[in-house]
Amino acid sequence: MGSIDELRVSTQEQYARLLGGTSKISVACSGGVDSTVLFHMIFSMIEDKGRLSICHVNYGLRVEENYREVALLQRLADSHGVAFFLHTVEESERLERREKNTQIWARLVRYEFFQELRANGWVIALGHHMDDAAENVVLRLARGTRPVGLLGMSVWKSPYWRPFLFTRKETILAWAQGKNLLYWEDSSNATMEYSRNSIRHQVLPVLERLFPGAKRRLVRCADEVRDLSAYVREGFRNEGIAAQPSLGLDFLSRLPVGVAKEAIEVWLEAKTDQIPRLSDALYEELFHWIRSYRRGETCSWKRMLSQDLCIYIEHESLWFLYTEKK
């Protein structure tokens, strides 16, 4: 999507179709250009301003900048007559995250806050755009994410709404400039300390220079791959794979490896929500056993997924077990 007019039309259409035009919307606002444009656009189309608010998390990691961000957002909310929901992370909570990845920790804090708002009936509007989505695809490809999670985000997944997901960053910037909007640029977006920023400032610009339109194609391809993966998974659910106590090695060996992985994950997801994503190394080892399987041979293999959970091969089938129940 390229033009400013198209951006507004698309947002209005999504608002009516996905949210019914009556939902309470809280815009997750950092004070940056993306979320600021999102707030102003939604403000211009929502009639009952009591159904619009701004929400923000102050992590306290950049004290002076955080103070200015909060002050800017408070003024924005006050000047437009909407509520401002602020979650401030306490010092004790910041100290607890010392041994954790900062971005993962911040995401957990943010989404816990969002869930509180959801419990009070708010839809959370997020300013993610095409450039963010492309970064996500590259990052997840490099980390080995399964196809269904390759894009990592969608336009609508209750309670999260991302109306700009297929919009280019330059379109959002043009809208802000055309409206003379005041916004704040987070200094952490420029540092190469975070892998996402390295992809944003170094990897994607090279891809765009070599192959103009690369970001758009990455996002479109990931979206299609996710649809294909979801379709395959739904087919396995309809076939009753999820309810089976075990998966036969003969069945798995006849499937292409990528399809067999989808079957295994559908099967595991029905057993527990405590299993982390299976590693590439574990899958490689598992499929080595499956490929070398011979009907009638005794085959035994077992790997722990967590302290209490494991998968194992026995009696020509793949099984799942809560070890504490064995």
Q: Average pLDDT for residues 247-251, to the nearest whole number?
A: 93
The pLDDT value recorded for residue 324 is: 56
Query: Are 104 and 204 found together in one domain?
Result: yes
Query: Are 259 and 213 found together in one domain?
Result: no
The pLDDT value recorded for residue 308 is: 83
Write out the two tokens for 112.
């816990």
- Of 113-117, 148-152, 163-167, 259-263, minimum mean pLDDT range: 148-152
The answer to whether residue 89 is domain-embedded is yes
The pLDDT value recorded for residue 97 is: 66
Q: Name the nearest CA neighbour of 276 among 300, 235, 238, 308.
A: 308
The answer to whether residue 227 is domain-embedded is no
Q: Average pLDDT for residues 68-86, to the nearest whole number?
A: 96
Query: Are 200 and 244 found together in one domain?
Result: no
pTM: 0.81
The answer to whether residue 67 is domain-embedded is yes
CATH code, domain with 60:
3.40.50.620
The pLDDT value recorded for residue 95 is: 73
Query: Are 184 and 75 found together in one domain?
Result: yes
CATH code, domain with 273:
3.30.465
Query: 156-201 pLDDT, tens per residue?
Result: 999 999 999 999 999 999 999 999 998 877 655 556 566 888 999 8
Q: Average pLDDT for residues 213-240, to the nearest whole number?
A: 94
Flag whether pLDDT at 81 surpasses 70: yes
Query: Are 148 and 197 found together in one domain?
Result: yes
Query: Are 46 and 78 found together in one domain?
Result: yes
Query: Are 176 and 90 found together in one domain?
Result: yes
Give the range of the structural domain holding residue 211, as residue numbers without chain letter.
Answer: 4-218
- Of 34-43, 70-79, 118-127, 299-308, minimum mean pLDDT range: 299-308
**Distance between CA atoms of residues 75 and 278, nearest Å:** 46
Q: Average pLDDT for residues 108-120, to the nearest whole number?
A: 95
Query: Of all residues in the chain, what percent carry a pLDDT higher than 70?
Result: 91
Query: Are 104 and 207 found together in one domain?
Result: yes
**Distance between CA atoms of residues 176 and 65, nearest Å:** 21
Query: Are 154 and 292 found together in one domain?
Result: no
Contacts for 196 with CB less than 8 Å, ≥ 6 apart = 103, 135, 139
User: In total, how many domains does the chain have?
Assistant: 2
The answer to whether residue 30 is domain-embedded is yes
Opening angle at CA 195, ends 155 and 198, nearest 5: 95
Query: Are 9 and 146 found together in one domain?
Result: yes
pLDDT band at 326 (very low <50, low <70, confident <90, very high): very low
Q: Higher pLDDT residue, 148 or 163?
A: 163
Q: Average pLDDT for residues 136-163, to the nearest whole number?
A: 89
Query: Are 45 and 175 found together in one domain?
Result: yes
Query: Are 250 and 207 found together in one domain?
Result: no
Q: Cis before residue 276, ω within 30 degrees of 0?
A: no
147, 229 Cβ separation under 8 angstroms:
yes
The answer to whether residue 233 is domain-embedded is no
Q: Higher pLDDT residue, 284 or 278?
A: 284
Task: For the chain, give the mean pLDDT.
Answer: 88
Q: Average pLDDT for residues 87-107, to the nearest whole number?
A: 78
